[in-house]
Amino acid sequence: MFYSKEELTERFKERFGQMEKRDNAAAYSSMASIVQEFVEERRNMTHALYKESNEKQLYYISLEFLLGRMLRSNLSNLGAYEVASDVLRDAGFSLEEIEEQEVDPGLGNGGLGRLAACFMDSLASLGLPGHGYAIRYRGGLFTQHIEDGFQKESPVHWITKHDQWDVRHEELAVEVPFYGKLIKHEDGAVEHEDAIWVKAVPYDMPIVGGNSGPVNTLRLWQAEPCGRPLPVGVDKGQYEAATAEISDRLYPDDSYDEGKLLRLKQQYFLCSASLQAIFNEGGFPVKELPEHVAIQINDTHPAMAIPELMRILMDGHGLTWDAAWAITTRTISYTNHTILEEAMEKWDQWLLKELVPRIYDIIEEIDRRFKATLPGGLNEKERHKLAVLDEKQVKMAVLAVVGSYKVNGVASLHTEILKKREMKELYAIFPEKFHNKTNGITHRRWLIQANPELTELITESIGDQWKREPERLAELAHYGADTALLRDFQAVKRLKKNQLIQAVKAAGDNAIDPDSIFDIQIKRFHGYKRQLMNILHVRMLHDRIRNDATFRPHPRTFFFGGKAAPSYHFAKQVIKMIHAVAQQVNSDPVARKYLHVVFIEDYNVSHAEKLIPAAEVSEQISTASKEASGTGNMKFMMNGALTLGTVDGANVEIFEAIGEDNAFVFGLSAEQVMRFEAEGDYRPAEVLEEDAQIRQLIAELEAGELSDGAANAELVIRQLGAEEDPFFVLRDLNSYALAHERMVEAYGDQLAWQGMAWTNVAHSGIFSSDRTIQQYSDDVWDLGRFRLKV
Ligand code: 26V
């Protein structure tokens, strides 16, 4: 149990009294440090409990953990939000206001990083011994500023501003070897000479779940110089700078081509430090590792955990190759998060060989042995697909599949595409490894914390057991025809819309109509996510309003938010285009009664927590087959927004759960897209020939109308034209517009609409990450449940 009101008041007064300035920042610091110390103690107790039990532990290794703010989440999971709120109120503060003092640590790009954070929450909430390993980047993802409609980036150093939730553990530091050369002895022993060592210092962050379960650990590694003598010729100053760089900043997700060396250093640094720490925890004979430890690698980014584990087992513990391989391939499992070719990691062989010679050496042997086991009769293409080393590159996805005991996709369509297409050859060899684990989101952060008003309404209807067992939200289905309840539900949405309006007002936009339909697309900017299609459609609506005095649709507000990777010029032009259209629409005296466009600058987890509860329409419009799962789609449905989307990723399972008539489905199917891609016979020009409205839109684009001057839309025009519209924007635009028409019509019958929204909430329980994590535990990790007795 957390402190009583009296205890907490006393503690708060004591800390706050010592503050120099008695403002919101001081109130935040005082409260946060009290909570931090409380959970840190629980974390230590949990650690002792795990050690004593000798039960299997899971380590989730990920280059990204997109946590969001901690104070609310920790208080809420401790069941202490109310008491903290009361104590602060008595002291003249509002908890909601002081929360805004907390820097949102952006240690992730998007879905993959946020998923890792949701998983941490679910592991702790289910009482499962699962811990995260990551890098303590000094700078998270860049801050986005909009200047004249263009995205500008600036670095953020969250750690300097951050009231620390993590604790440094110097005594648990390990050392990671880079460079140097290998000396191979006749008996097979390998020595690594003249290596340059980097110290990895862990900072441990407590992960508090709901349900008063154990407090797990997210360990963040910081790179520092270590005391070993440097090899001759290595300059001390340069060494120190290069060391600090390793944990300096998170890579944006398209910069695979830039600064490759540093990204590779980060990956090995994380893998090596984490594996060494796992062995240092110890408590079991090395050969029993798979019975005591499961390691999940989040995409291929930490795939070097495979050769690193081999290295430790062979060079450190003297195991033979076969013994080490048997252990490795029973310990490590891999999740794939994308089929986009450009995100499939490949490293130049020479780079690995130079930077991590022993690791390269082991990868070479993995490849050699694997190739030797391949059946005869494979054609050239198949052999390429099955090669770890291919055309002077190391293919991390092949390494990850070969070295893991389980491989999964993140939604059922995605897993099928992996099996039938992207990894077809590997699947033919290892059919038993492949499985699906549809993503989930923590309903604690995304419903209980972000939408307390809806939480209360749900609890009034079905009691609060659903908080522990979110699938019980299904009981809400019995009340779907209760008009009074649906009216209350509508009132909650209205309230959340007004709260959002207030937040956006603070950022300078005064013109949002609370009666308008809140239509939201928030996610990273990418061609396949098709923010372009959304904004082109807004422009089509604007044209119709101008040209047809009888067309006076229900007012709509279109919200956009998201960052484009700094070197992704196309995506940055789409951001510019959204601002250009916003400018036109919002300043048009007629159109602005019906349309309003808002761009949320520097979109992050905290913004998402305000936007999603206020949403009525959830835009999930990726080109079918491209979005591995999506998790925003789940957050929206759980908050009663209706999905307007393609049959892609987890949308498929959402539509299955709620029935297609409770969503607005449109566009090409994954199969159609893949067929077009295989045949190469999609011709955007044919779409233009048939559709005068789209033709006009393109003409406007070419004339520079949508972008303050043609030059700014050059890449967009090229993509839609010369580059043959690779994401099928023109092809799906018409069916997208029709889906919008169906949506607006449905909105006209508010009672029916609320019923549909209610159905979405009722069937969102299966998208809780508690379900996902339980499935991973049952099928992959085999963990036992714990309770912390305090
Ligand atoms: C790629 C790279 C390339 C090198 C530089 C750093 C970097 C960072 C990230 C990535 C790939 C990101 C892949 C990703 O975020 N996938 C998303 O994963 C979500 C969780 O499974 C899923 O819901 C989304 O559909 C999927 O796009």
Spatial separation of the C-alpha atoms in residues 208 and 215, rounded to whole Å: 5
User: Tokens in use for 174?
Assistant: 């390990």
pLDDT of residue 324: 98
pLDDT of residue 282: 86
> Ligand 1 in contact with 436 (CB < 6 A)?
no
Model pLDDT for residues 56-66, shown as the tens digit of each residue: 999 999 999 99
Spatial separation of the C-alpha atoms in residues 262 and 242, rounded to whole Å: 9
Neighbour-count burial for 507-531, b at 16+ CB within 10 Å, e otherwise: eebeebbeebbbbbbbbbbbbbbbb
Give the max Cα distance, the chain. Answer: 88
pLDDT of residue 707: 81
Centroid of ligand 1 to alpha carbon of 528 (angstroms): 13
**Residue 631 appears among annotated catalytic residues:** yes
At 178, phi and psi to the nearest 5? Answer: -125, 160
Strands 143-147 and 150-154: antiparallel
E strand or H helix at 67, and its extent?
A: none
Spatial separation of the C-alpha atoms in residues 445 and 467, rounded to whole Å: 11
Q: Pick the closest to residue 564 from 209, 141, 116, 33 (CA basis).
A: 141
Confidence of residue 428 (pLDDT cuts 50, 70, 90): very high
Model pLDDT for residues 280-310, shown as the tens digit of each residue: 998 899 999 999 999 999 999 999 999 999 9
* Domains defined for the chain, CATH in brackets: 443-772 (3.40.50.2000)
**C-alpha triplet 711, 713, 714: angle, nearest 5°:** 65
**Mean pLDDT (whole number) for 183-209:** 95
Q: Is the pLDDT of residue 257 over 80?
A: no
Q: Is the pLDDT of residue 369 over 90?
A: yes
Alpha helices in 61-131 (DSSP H): 71-77, 81-90, 95-99, 111-125
Q: From residue 747, give the alpha-carbon distance in Å to each of 288, 457, 503, 537, 740.
A: 59, 22, 25, 18, 10
Q: Is the pLDDT of residue 254 over 80?
A: no
Is the C-alpha dihedral spanning 647, 648, 653, 655 positive or negative? negative
User: Tokens in use for 444?
Assistant: 């604690």
Q: Is the pLDDT of residue 789 over 80?
A: no
In sequence order, what DSSP letters do the residues of 227-266 get, joined into one string? SSPPPTT--HHHHHHHHHHHTTBPPPTTGGGSSHHHHHHH
Q: Pick the closest to residue 8 from 42, 33, 41, 43 (CA basis).
A: 33
E strand or H helix at 743, and its extent?
A: helix 729-748
542-543-546-549 Cα dihedral, nearest 10 degrees: -100
Closest ligand 1 atom, CA of 252?
6
Q: Is the pLDDT of residue 343 over 90?
A: no
Q: Is the pLDDT of residue 401 over 70?
A: yes
Of the listed 42, 337, 444, 596, which one is catalytic? Answer: 337
**Mean pLDDT (whole number) for 731-735:** 98
User: Tokens in use for 565?
Assistant: 């990777």
Q: Is the pLDDT of residue 342 over 90?
A: no
**Residue 529 appears among annotated catalytic residues:** yes
Model pLDDT for residues 91-114, shown as the tens digit of each residue: 999 999 999 999 988 899 999 999
Q: Is the pLDDT of residue 256 over 90?
A: no
The answer to whether 694 touches 720, Cβ cutoff 8 Å, is no
Residue with tokens 């450009």: 342
Spatial separation of the C-alpha atoms in residues 295 and 275, rounded to whole Å: 9
> Ligand 1 in contact with 251 (CB < 6 A)?
yes
Centroid of ligand 1 to alpha carbon of 109 (angstroms): 8
Mean pLDDT of the chain: 96
> Ligand 1 in contact with 255 (CB < 6 A)?
yes
Closest ligand 1 atom, CA of 628?
25
pLDDT of residue 379: 97
> Ligand 1 in contact with 410 (CB < 6 A)?
yes
> Ligand 1 in contact with 111 (CB < 6 A)?
yes
At 522, phi and psi to the nearest 5? Answer: -130, 120
pLDDT of residue 654: 98
**Mean pLDDT (whole number) for 340-352:** 92
Confidence of residue 711 (pLDDT cuts 50, 70, 90): low
Q: Tell me the best of 304, 442, 629, 646 to mutate to test the pocket of ligand 1, counting ligand atoms within 8 Å of each CB and taking the most.
A: 629
pLDDT of residue 208: 96
Nearest CA to ligand 1 atom 16: 337
Strand order in the sheet with 389-390: 346-348, 393-395, 389-390
Confidence of residue 710 (pLDDT cuts 50, 70, 90): low
> Ligand 1 in contact with 62 (CB < 6 A)?
no
Task: List residues bridging with 201 in a β-sheet.
Answer: 222
Q: Helices 531-547 and 729-748 meet at what angle, rounded to 10?
A: 60
Q: Is the pLDDT of residue 391 over 70?
A: yes
> Ligand 1 in contact with 415 (CB < 6 A)?
no
In sequence order, what DSSP letters do the residues of 698-728 get, joined into one string? HHHHHTTTTTTSGGGGHHHHHHHTTT--TT-
> Ligand 1 in contact with 649 (CB < 6 A)?
yes
**Residue 524 appears among annotated catalytic residues:** yes
Nearest CA to ligand 1 atom 6: 253
Of the listed 56, 443, 445, 529, which one is catalytic? Answer: 529
> Ligand 1 in contact with 253 (CB < 6 A)?
yes
User: Tokens in use for 787?
Assistant: 């309770």
User: 16 Cβ partners below 8 Å, 6+ apart?
Assistant: 22, 26, 27, 30, 91
The answer to whether 632 touches 522, Cβ cutoff 8 Å, is yes
Spatial separation of the C-alpha atoms in residues 5 and 8, rounded to whole Å: 5
pLDDT of residue 508: 85
Among 251-265, 597-611, 664-678, the range scoring the smallest mean pLDDT is 251-265
Q: From residue 682, give the alpha-carbon distance in Å to each of 677, 685, 728, 730.
A: 8, 9, 9, 11
The answer to whether 289 touches 332, Cβ cutoff 8 Å, is no
**Mean pLDDT (whole number) for 544-550:** 96
Confidence of residue 159 (pLDDT cuts 50, 70, 90): confident
Centroid of ligand 1 to alpha carbon of 424 (angstroms): 21
Confidence of residue 145 (pLDDT cuts 50, 70, 90): very high
User: 633 Cβ partners below 8 Å, 6+ apart?
Assistant: 618, 620, 643, 645, 649, 650, 651, 654
Question: For a pLDDT cut of 90, what percent of the chain falls above it?
Answer: 92
Confidence of residue 712 (pLDDT cuts 50, 70, 90): confident
Nearest CA to ligand 1 atom 9: 253
Is the C-alpha dihedral spanning 390, 392, 395, 396 positive or negative? positive
Q: Is the pLDDT of residue 211 over 90?
A: no
Closest ligand 1 atom, CA of 110?
15
pTM, two decimals, is: 0.98
User: 538 Cβ partners below 8 Å, 6+ apart?
Assistant: 558, 581, 585, 595, 597
pLDDT of residue 158: 84
Q: Helices 750-762 and 483-506 meet at what angle, rounded to 10?
A: 90
pLDDT of residue 203: 97
pLDDT of residue 557: 98
**Residue 381 appears among annotated catalytic residues:** no
Nearest CA to ligand 1 atom 8: 253
392: left (phi over 0), alpha (psi -120 to 50) or beta: left
E strand or H helix at 643, and its extent?
A: strand 642-645
Among 328-337, 505-514, 755-764, the range scoring the smallest mean pLDDT is 505-514
Of the listed 43, 219, 358, 523, which one is catalytic? Answer: 523
Spatial separation of the C-alpha atoms in residues 284 and 54, rounded to whole Å: 8
